[in-house]
Structure 1
Amino acid sequence: MVSSCSLTRRLDDNQALVRKLKLQNVDKEFSEQALTYVDRQQQPNNWINLQLYLTFNKKGKNNIGEPPSILDSNLVEYSRMQIEHFLRNKGYLKARVSSDIQIRKKKAKLTFTADEGPLFRIRSIQDSIGDSNVRLLYRINRPRFSHVQPGGRFDTDSLAYDRDEFYQIMKRNGYYDFYRQYINYNYDSTFNNKVVDIKTVIDNPDGKAHHPTYKINNTLITISNSAGRSTGKADTIQVDSQFRFVDYSHKFHPESVTRYVFQRKGDLYNIDQQSLTTSRLSELNVFRNVPNPVYIKLPDSVNRKLDSRIDIIPLKRMSDRVEAEFLFNSGRYGYNLGNTFTDRNIFKRAEVLQIKLNWSVLFDNANTATAGSIENQDFKIGANLVYPRIIAPFNVPTLGKYGVPHTTFSSSLQLFYQKGLVERRSFINSLTYDWVETARKQHTLTPISIEFSNGTIDPIAKSTLLSQNRYSYIYLIGRTVYTASSQYTFQLNANKLNTLGNFTYFRGFIDVGGNTLSLISKVLNTKRDTAGQRTLFGYAFAQYAKAEVDLRFYRYLGGNERQFIFRINPGIGIPYGNSNQLIFEKNYYAGGANDIRAWLPRTLGPGQFNRAVYPDSTTRNRLKYLDQFGEIKIIGNAEYRYKLADNFFGTKLKGATFVDFGNVWRLHETSDNPGGQFRFDKLFQSTAIGIGTGLRFDLSYFIFRFDAAFKLKDPQFSGADQWVLIKHFDELFHTGSFKNTYEDSHNETYRFMQLNFGIGLPF
């Protein structure tokens, strides 16, 4: 077995595997970066990556894992020279680096030792710029962008940064023909004094006394058909003095494109406006390919102008996506089928219409009396019409600098059936605006959302609930109610969520409903129902306020994409005025693949509520799938992420270790949920804790996730009995007295472990 796991088992006798790499006597500021200059083939393999390669690539095909880093003296020498060159670029102009190779049992250790010498600093900075306009532009902007200052460390990377920054400034100010090669640096080092004098030189074009500037002239926009061909008859429109629109697809109104062309006739050429145009047209989600504009210089040498051409290939107008999932858990199994139909550009203004259908069915095989029967069904159908602009009764500027704004008209119908308990119907209509204030700040405003819900309780279930004093559930799931609400969401740093780095993500959400309806009902003095609530159109309406915060701290820990994330997600909903309880859809629920993963969705809490309070097995079976809810939630997560393998059957394999904690609580003590009230003095006692580990299969365009989570602390029990994993670890994969007792009192098996499959990261 040891032989079969040996990392050197497939090496020839004259080969050695690089297993250790050491760098000595390098400034700590640059030591980690200096290691990257060691040739990739001479850096030690990740153990898992190499084992995958040796196990699955029997014929030398590099499809899985990574090939062994075999010692190569030529590459070692090349690496030594690269490190030496890097140190000199960082100001150690006299740096020398030596290398040493030690081999033992076909394993090599590489040691690079540096003699850095003195650090050279900048004594003076001058410039030599022939064009007076360019010289003025450089001197005005240099204090803002330059990393090169007198007294600072001499660093060629900083010089390269300065060159690129000023190149961008020139490109923003009309200098279309300007190139980086015009910018050069002359530097003179005095070795004995350890100082360097720098001169920035910006040359003029050959044979010219200055650099020319250009202005935008006419713009030709050409849209091919979805096959990428610009043939046949086209819709040709001269929009205005700048834009000529040629559409071979016959599908687009000119305004849908010209709105997001930020280069205007008469403006100086600006590379930022060029990039902004390409980015926003791509974000419309109706085009397959939007290349950078092509510019043509007009022959007029006095009034220098640029004609531009934008060639676009549209996506196919219609598409359809089918998704399916199979669910299995402790004798329960089911499926989830989804279909999304997309019609792009339905009204020729880059609108996107999506029609979504979803059908979920859950069967229960655990109960032998009703094995194979449907326990619940959930059917949803919805339509979203998304416009790539803000549609309002007043003029709104094009908010496209940092992202395309959207107006979304949404409508959905949900039909839910739960065997022996309830049938519910929900109908929701809303209008939503979203826009990006800056690259870091995003806003979503739903000024109007109208929700209508109707439920019918099974007569036997209703009788059972009444006998258990569970009036809240009857009120929640068995009545007709509606509300009109407004919602607002603010997000900070959402654009960084899939990146490595140190940042803080924030999402704040508020939802207020029923106030306008309350005012109308009071003015009209409408009737009250049997519960004392005012009605409109014959039905009671809900009045409430709800707020939620999602705060996350992301910290990058270095190599192998190691990252630590801490998340805290509190929320509260308060009924008031015409309501004494939140409607079913506005409550909070805990458990599931994206919060506390050791519990199934909607099965945790509230607080310390324990289903053992049900007096008999018949009641427990009938109410087994009753959702647990609360008006307060606190969810927290701590997760450590790391890379395991670069190439695992075509995916990047990553791992995660996590701790989840939290619960949902009721605002007040109720007969429905004994022990479910939120109390500060019992916060820890009523908090659930789960631990686990997982794998992430990163396919670049999406991430498939698998998590195994374990209940560590279960708040439905008391005292030391809450620490279920510690106290009953021997029953983790076996049945004993604890599981037997639990099954007798709950009519279901206690599960320490919960497996979760998901698409995308949990947060």
Structure 2
Amino acid sequence: MLIIIGSGCSITRGIKKNQVLVRKITIKGIDEQFADAAVNYVDKEQQPNNWLNLQLYYTFNKSGKKNIGEAPAILDSNLVEYSRFQMEKYIQNRGYLKAKVTDSVVIKKQKAELVFTAVEGPMFRIRKFEDSIPDKNIKNLYNANRNKLSHIQPGGRFDTDSLAHDRDELYLLMKRNGYYDFFRQYISFNYDSTFNSSVVDIKMMIDNPAGLKEHPVYTINNTLITISRSSSRTTGKADTIQVDSQFRFVDFSGRFKPRTVIDYTFQKKGQIYNIDNQTLTTTRLSELNVFRNVPNPTYEKTADSTHRLDTKIDIVPLKRMSDRVEGEVLFNGGRYGYNVGNTFTDRNVFKQAAILQVKINWSILFDNGNNVANNSAIQNQEFRAGVNLIYPRILTPFNFPLLGKFGVPHTIFSTNYSLFYQKGLVTRESFINSISYDFFETGRKQHTVTPINIEYSRGIIDPVARQALLDQNRYAYVSLIGRTVFTTGSQYTFQYNNVELNSYNNFTYFRGSLDIGGNVLNLASKLFNAPKDTLGQRKIFGYAFAQYTKTEIDLRIYRSLGGERQLILRLNPGIGVPYGNSNQLIFEKNFYTGGANDIRAWLPRTLGPGQFNRATYYGTDSLTRSRLKYLDQFGEIKIVGNVEYRYKLADNFFGAKLKGAVYMDAGNVWRLGKKAENPNGEFRFNNFLQSTAIGVGTGLRFDLSFFVFRLDYAFKFKDPQFNGADQWVLFKHADELFSTGTFKRSYLQNYGDNYAFAQLNFGIGLPF
């Protein structure tokens, strides 16, 4: 932006003196419901430029070697006339059959305004509709479905889009009911608009094939499935199996069992041809993620006159194995580090399109400068390793129907291990094993069920840090991060409208989860009179087990504001309750906030709980401060709300779409009841607003189609660790945003750390 501003911001600086730049389009005389769409019929090269796109083009394309930004829209009289004609045709197609459009151009200082003026005339309505369908079977099928598929109704507005819509819907109706040889050309419309009363009579005709009295209905016969090698070659030896009376399976790769493809071939012998089953077969086979190319099945008519179709499915598989290395550099609030990961994938375990993934990840974070006692030292490290085996079907001890109509279902066997080390505080390790099922009830409703989830975790606290925490009466925190816990449980998640998340439609997204643990172990411990530890908690296999219930909701409302502008409202509450054999949640089951995806003005896990003030346990000793500086703040209750407005800045910014956002985040985490270690950290309705944090900010999104790179700059607007008017830090201490004064010096003295008004977040993907 500084480069652009420094080089001059005139929007005409890059065009010749004899050229004129189109800067405005004005449309007059068009019905309001069509005016916005009418603008789109102005030729693309005559559409006014986005200011930033144009400046980027002027700045970076002087050499002619780069394609950045957007070329200037130079006035072209031929394109203006073409645009006038297209707009006139558009209005006539909306039912104003006598409409006329004229154009004019207003030029001032090399800037042009295009003015299109319409005289619409009367709107024509449909007076009468009739059809001519000699094939009685098709006529009966049409009559049974007309009300739900047709946009042509007597009394309604006449427009050609309705004719095109009805033709397409009728074509699909035929293709779904066995009419393989049916084409759109069989459907035609005649309409008479010669009446002075502005009405139209419409007649629809569906012709029979030449020389035939009716359209034939086709059924599915045999199916040949051919899988080539990954190189697309179909040579050499092949595994050939006649599976049953319908399916013949030929596999040149030698890597697949027949059921891998047959399970997701939704065309069965004897059924009438249905184009939806053809599309469904292609879609589901592609979703298996083991095939590189899955074209639509092709059909050949049998040699006899029985109107049967032999099906051919030709598939090219992906390479069976792949290995991907990923890495990123992290910068966050004076801390920096890196994250390196490796993912090995085997795409066809047991020849059943089961995917085996082995993931290893190592991250390390340094503290840079702000922590005098621990300057430039390793702040924390984490090593993670996991193995996932993903089957593209539901595997159970009993027969289960194939739930593949709306998406490929999965059975996921998962094992994950993590080892986390925070300097001077704790070493934690966890081991989690689970079996999960996910499937689609409809195209929008997705269920994930985890009937078995086994977790083991333990923490070892640094002796000095342990004593410092005990001296501050933070016994619960010592127990939370330093104990060994074993539990089993079950989980359930429901998602609605996940398929819409990358669109600009108006929709509501919902995700709800329920996590219940320890009940089976509690019952078993009582039945077998399991021993208790010193805290009175029963033990299984020598370890106390956790018992809890946790639920969380993510509700979002997406509203399109036209083009690529969007408003998102989000509410994300959750609560976890320990009970029975537990007096607190497992460390990993608590709620935390702050960071790049919820309240962006705070570092991850540094906000809350409630109005808890960290200065109460920092103390004055610098070594103690260094140990406890990044102590995770947690709570059993979480409420976060977000409002974000997204918009487009430039279409081509070094190969990416440049988008912007402004937002407000609000919320916190709270403790269930009063806790000695977190004064004022409990949830109370009469203190909810006082204990809620608010952050505001703006951001840039670099959209590269296959992923989004994001930068968010957020400011603390209301900080609940303070009281009264002092909470409104952005107002009360705005003069210290970029300088140091009384407030920052006082904070440094009490907290041993600088107060950060702003937080820069780097992320991959959108926050929600």
Q: Do these two structures clear the TM 0.5 threshold for a shared fold by scoring above it?
A: yes
Q: 2 CA distance for matches of 1:669 and 1:334?
A: 37
Alpha-carbon distance, 1:3 to partner: 8.2
2:323 alignment partner, one of 299, 320, 325: 320
Q: 2 CA distance for matches of 1:197 and 1:64?
A: 52
TM-score (ref. length: structure 1): 0.98
2:694 alignment partner, one of 689, 698, 702: 689
Does structure 1 residue 42 correspond to structure 2 residue 61? no
Does structure 1 residue 346 correspond to structure 2 residue 349? yes
Instruction: Report what 1:652 is aligned to.
Output: 657
Instruction: Give the SS at the match of 1:447.
Output: strand
Kindly provide the CA deviation profile for residues 34-63 of structure 1, in whole angstroms up to 9, marking residues without a partner as x. 111111111111111111111111144561
Residue 580 of structure 1 aligns with an amino acid whose one-letter code is: N
1:733 alignment partner, one of 713, 726, 738: 738
Q: 1 CA distance for matches of 2:471 and 2:91?
A: 80
Q: 1 CA distance for matches of 2:331 and 2:660?
A: 23
Q: 2 CA distance for matches of 1:470 and 1:607?
A: 17
| Conserved 8 A contact 2:597-2:767 | yes
Q: What is the RMSD of the two structures over their aligned residues, measured on CA atoms?
A: 1.2
Instruction: Report what 2:239 is aligned to.
Output: 235
Report 1:347-426 matches (<5 A): 347-366=350-369, 367-426=371-430
Kindly provide the CA deviation profile for residues 505-564 of structure 1, in whole angstroms up to 9, marking residues without a partner as x. 1111111111111100111111111001111111111000111111101000113x1100
Alpha-carbon distance, 1:664 to partner: 0.2
| Conserved 8 A contact 2:333-2:759 | no
Alpha-carbon distance, 1:2 to partner: 9.1
| Conserved 8 A contact 1:552-1:566 | yes
Q: 1 CA distance for matches of 2:46 and 2:65?
A: 20
Q: 2 CA distance for matches of 1:197 and 1:369?
A: 87
Instruction: Report what 1:516 is aligned to.
Output: 520
Q: 2 CA distance for matches of 1:317 and 1:3?
A: 53
Instruction: Report what 1:700 is aligned to.
Output: 705
Shift in alpha-carbon separation, 1:198–1:400, aligned structure 2, 3 A = same
| Conserved 8 A contact 1:611-1:620 | no
Q: 2 CA distance for matches of 1:504 and 1:331?
A: 38
Does structure 1 residue 162 correspond to structure 2 residue 166? yes
2:567 alignment partner, one of 564, 567, 573: 564
Does structure 1 residue 446 correspond to structure 2 residue 479? no
| Range 142-151 or range 358-367, more displaced | 358-367
Does structure 1 residue 749 correspond to structure 2 residue 754? yes
Q: 1 CA distance for matches of 2:271 and 2:113?
A: 60
TM-score (ref. length: structure 2): 0.98
Q: 2 CA distance for matches of 1:193 and 1:333?
A: 76
Report 1:541-560 matches (<5 A): 541-559=545-563
Residue 11 of structure 1 aligns with an amino acid whose one-letter code is: I
| Conserved 8 A contact 2:695-2:714 | yes
Does structure 1 residue 147 correspond to structure 2 residue 169? no
Residue 693 of structure 1 aligns with an amino acid whose one-letter code is: T
Q: 2 CA distance for matches of 1:184 and 1:211?
A: 16
Kindly provide the CA deviation profile for residues 251-296 of structure 1, in whole angstroms up to 9, marking residues without a partner as x. 1111111000001111111000000000000000111110001111
1:254 alignment partner, one of 247, 251, 258: 258
Does structure 1 residue 598 correspond to structure 2 residue 601? yes
Instruction: Give the SS at the match of 2:349.
Output: coil
Q: 2 CA distance for matches of 1:461 and 1:592?
A: 25
Instruction: Report what 1:329 is aligned to.
Output: 332
| Conserved 8 A contact 1:633-1:665 | yes
Number of aligned residue pairs: 761
Instruction: Report what 1:671 is aligned to.
Output: 676
Alpha-carbon distance, 1:73 to partner: 0.7
Q: 1 CA distance for matches of 2:455 and 2:355?
A: 23
Residue 665 of structure 2 aligns with an amino acid whose one-letter code is: D
Q: 2 CA distance for matches of 1:152 and 1:370?
A: 76
Kindly provide the CA deviation profile for residues 557-584 of structure 1, in whole angstroms up to 9, marking residues without a partner as x. 113x110000000000000111111010
Gaps of 5+ in 2: none
Alpha-carbon distance, 1:360 to partner: 1.1
| Conserved 8 A contact 1:599-1:754 | yes
Q: 1 CA distance for matches of 2:368 and 2:346?
A: 40
| Range 749-758 or range 404-413, more displaced | 749-758
Shift in alpha-carbon separation, 1:298–1:554, aligned structure 2, 3 A = same
Residue 684 of structure 1 aligns with an amino acid whose one-letter code is: L
| Conserved 8 A contact 2:60-2:66 | no
Instruction: Report what 2:189 is aligned to.
Output: 185
| Range 370-379 or range 165-174, more displaced | 370-379
Instruction: Give the SS at the match of 1:257.
Output: helix
Kindly provide the CA deviation profile for residues 294-350 of structure 1, in whole angstroms up to 9, marking residues without a partner as x. 11111212x111111111111111111111121233442211111111111021100
Gaps of 5+ in 1: none
Instruction: Report what 1:176 is aligned to.
Output: 180
| Conserved 8 A contact 2:332-2:761 | no
Residue 582 of structure 1 aligns with an amino acid whose one-letter code is: L
Instruction: Report what 2:614 is aligned to.
Output: 611
Kindly provide the CA deviation profile for residues 59-111 of structure 1, in whole angstroms up to 9, marking residues without a partner as x. 44561111111111111111111111111111101101110111111110000
Q: 1 CA distance for matches of 2:115 and 2:65?
A: 31
